Amino acid sequence: MPEKLEILYASHADFVWRTLLRLGVTRHDVGDAVQDVFLVVHRQLGSFEGRAAFATWLFTICRTVATRRRRQYQRERENVTVDSTEDIIDLRADVGREVEHNQELQLLNLILDSLDAKQRNVFILFELEKMSGEEVSLALSIPIGTVYSRLQLARDAFRQALVRHESKERFAVRRAGGKL
Amino acid sequence: MTDPIRWSEADNATSPIEQSLVRAGQQVSMPKDERLAIWQSILSGVSAGATTPFSTPNAEGMPSLPKAAGVFGPTSILALQSAKVLLILAVLAGLGVGGYHWLGSAHAGRDAVFSQATALADPSAIPKSVGSTQVTPALTQPETATAATAKAQAPVASRASQLKEESLAVMAARQALRSNDAAKALNLLEQAQLKFKRGGLAEEREALTIEALAKLGQSARASAHARAFLAQYPRSPHAQDVQRFAK
């Protein structure tokens, strides 16, 4: 069984790791959370019916684990936010394009954080994890039509957040120029 | 209903910055050293979990999870002990476990082993849960947990070592390909094929082999390999890339 779990881990660890981070698990806790997810996988693999892609099943586990972690943060009343992606990037193996990539990821996370949670889930699975609409529907247990409508709302919100960010950046540049 | 075109694939419908952001998000992957450390921790939990009552679901319907086996919990004494061991293992492993990615594929973790997962759905493959009266201290007492960890580490070390060696071979081949030395890449891959016939990275090796063959102008062989690959790994994360060679 550990050998089979190892195969699953090898193939899906990245997905679980980034999904947990996107779902609000802190960088500090994500290691434990990944462990939690795969222990659940180990335990519940027999209940996986194979009707959905394995990743969609994994996502539902990630969502539960992340929810538990977030509740824990609330209980502990810690002012914990999703860490900067700097930690992620610092440890990335491929550091050749880190600066630009780092900035992009920081902005992406900033925008994702600003989205409604339901819309964000759809956006993450469809746009970032490249799941099909049907897979997203199964993962989130929502009708396919709802997937599409939430995706559209998420895209609109994403664009608005990006515009706001760019406006702030331009304003900041103008202010800096004025001071100079 | 047809899915909308993804932003990362819709050149005309999205702005360059939108595409860039989404593509950046698709490429995030776990740090390699962390990947190995977490895996070691999972194995410790699995080893102890065989006698641990996971069967009591919490409010969310999820099983209880072993906590003491974690190596990232800042308050766990065991975590500190395990972290030392894992740090050494991670260093020894040379970050090799991270070699599962093929040419930076953005979705390396997705559905790669769907068929294996489906096969694994056999309930007999899962250790039967034990009653709540059989609560063992395995995950609550550092001594027992440490013993479980040590027990798990022997085979793990062996597997990790082999996996590391294989992943290094794959990385070397990938590096050769990136350096436009397809002949060297193919040679490395053929050696790896002989050495790791049942290795965990066969899929990655074969995908690289196909690309190496194509770069060497051996399009017929590349095509044959690609068709075989798609037949064997229809849901592989590399399938889309391999598809273009299957003529």
pLDDT at B22 over 80: yes
- Please tell me which of the candidates A31, A130, A144 has its beta carbon nearest to residue B6: A130
Separation of alpha carbons B167 and B18, rounded Å = 34
Nearest-Cα residue of chain A relative to residue B20: A104
Q: What is the pLDDT of residues A86-138, one digit of tens each?
A: 344 333 333 344 556 677 888 888 898 888 988 998 999 999 988 889 888 88
CB atoms within 10 A of CB A132: 15
Which residues of chain B make contact with A44, given a CB cutoff of 8 A?
63, 126
Cβ atoms of B200 and A10 within 8 Å: the answer is yes
Could you give the percent of chain A with pLDDT greater than 90? Answer: 22
pLDDT at B210 over 50: yes
Looking at residue B237, its pLDDT comes to: 67
Looking at residue A119, its pLDDT comes to: 92
Separation of alpha carbons A127 and A150, rounded Å = 12
Residue B157 makes CB contacts below 8 A (sequence gap 6+) with B89
In this prediction, residues B207-212 reach a mean pLDDT of 90
Looking at residue B203, its pLDDT comes to: 79
3-state DSSP of B150-217: HHHHHHHHHHHHHHHHHHHHHHHHHHHHHCCCHHHHHHHHHHHHHHCCCCCCHHHHHHHHHHHHHHCC
Which of A90-99, B5-14, B201-210 is the least confident region? A90-99
Residues 33-62 of A with CB under 8 A from B: 34-36, 38-40, 42-50, 53-55, 61
With an 8 Å Cβ cutoff, are A35 and B33 in contact?
no
Q: Mean pLDDT across chain B, nearest whole number?
A: 63
Most confident stretch, A2-16, B67-81, B89-103: A2-16
Place B162 in a pLDDT band, splitting at 50, 70 and 90: low
Looking at residue B78, its pLDDT comes to: 39
Residue A86 makes CB contacts below 8 A (sequence gap 6+) with A102, A106
3-state DSSP of B33-101: HHHHHHHHHHHHHHHHHCCCCCCCECCCCCECCCCCCCCCCCCCHHHHHHHHHHHHHHHHHCCHHHCCC
Could you give the percent of chain B with pLDDT greater than 90? Answer: 6
Residues 193-212 of B with CB under 8 A from A: 200
Which residues of chain A make contact with B153, given a CB cutoff of 8 A?
none
Place A141 in a pLDDT band, splitting at 50, 70 and 90: confident
In this prediction, residues B74-95 reach a mean pLDDT of 43
With an 8 Å Cβ cutoff, are A104 and B21 in contact?
yes
Residues 63-122 of A with CB under 8 A from B: 64-65, 67-68, 85, 88, 91-94, 101, 104-105, 107-108, 111-112
Residue A95 makes CB contacts below 8 A (sequence gap 6+) with A89
Which of A44-53, A72-81, A123-132, B29-38 is the least confident region? A72-81
Nearest-Cα residue of chain B relative to residue A40: B63
pLDDT at B39 over 50: yes
With an 8 Å Cβ cutoff, are A88 and B28 in contact?
yes
With an 8 Å Cβ cutoff, are A158 and B18 in contact?
yes
User: Which comes out higher in pLDDT, residue B90 or A119?
Assistant: A119
Q: Which amino acid is at B90?
A: A
The distance of A168 to chain B (nearest Cα, Å) reads 16
CB atoms within 10 A of CB B77: 10
Looking at residue B96, its pLDDT comes to: 39
Looking at residue B16, its pLDDT comes to: 86
Looking at residue B49, its pLDDT comes to: 57
Nearest-Cα residue of chain A relative to residue B14: A159
Could you give the percent of chain B with pLDDT greater than 70? Answer: 52
Q: Which two tokens stand for residue B177?
A: 């390909």
φ/ψ (deg, to 5) at B65: -120, 145
* Mutation target among B9, B29, B166, B178 for the A interface, most CBs of A within 10 A: B29
Place A1 in a pLDDT band, splitting at 50, 70 and 90: low
User: Which comes out higher in pLDDT, residue A152 or A83?
Assistant: A152
Q: Which amino acid is at B68?
A: A
Distance of CA B69 to the CA centre of its chain: 20
In this prediction, residues B15-21 reach a mean pLDDT of 87
Which residues of chain A make contact with B24, given a CB cutoff of 8 A?
101, 104-105, 108
Residue A36 makes CB contacts below 8 A (sequence gap 6+) with A65, B65
Looking at residue A55, its pLDDT comes to: 80
Cα Rg of chain B (Å, integer): 22
Alpha carbon of A1 to those of A117, B116, B120: distances in Å? 35, 12, 9
- Please tell me which of the candidates A14, A31, A131 has its beta carbon nearest to residue B72: A31
Helices (H), chain A: 2-22, 30-44, 54-76, 86-90, 98-114, 117-123, 133-140, 144-179
CA dihedral for B20, B4, A125, B119, sign (positive or negative)? negative
With an 8 Å Cβ cutoff, are A144 and B1 in contact?
yes
Alpha carbon of A71 to those of A2, A115, B75: distances in Å? 30, 19, 18
pTM of the entire structure?
A: 0.47
The distance of A52 to chain B (nearest Cα, Å) reads 9
Q: What is the pLDDT of residues B138-152, one digit of tens each?
A: 323 333 444 444 544
Could you give the percent of chain A with pLDDT greater than 70? Answer: 76
- Please tell me which of the candidates A30, A39, A54 has its beta carbon nearest to residue B66: A39
pLDDT at B69 over 50: no
The distance of B184 to chain A (nearest Cα, Å) reads 22
For B5-33, letters b (16+ CB in 10 Å) and e give ebbbeeeeebeeebbbbbbbbbbbbbbbb
pLDDT at A146 over 90: yes
Separation of alpha carbons B55 and B61, rounded Å = 10
Alpha carbon of A143 to those of A58, A116, A146, A150, B7: distances in Å? 19, 18, 5, 11, 22
Cβ atoms of B94 and B164 within 8 Å: the answer is yes
With an 8 Å Cβ cutoff, are A6 and B116 in contact?
no
Which residues of chain B make contact with A68, given a CB cutoff of 8 A?
58, 60, 62
Q: Mean pLDDT across chain A, nearest whole number?
A: 78
pLDDT at B50 over 50: no
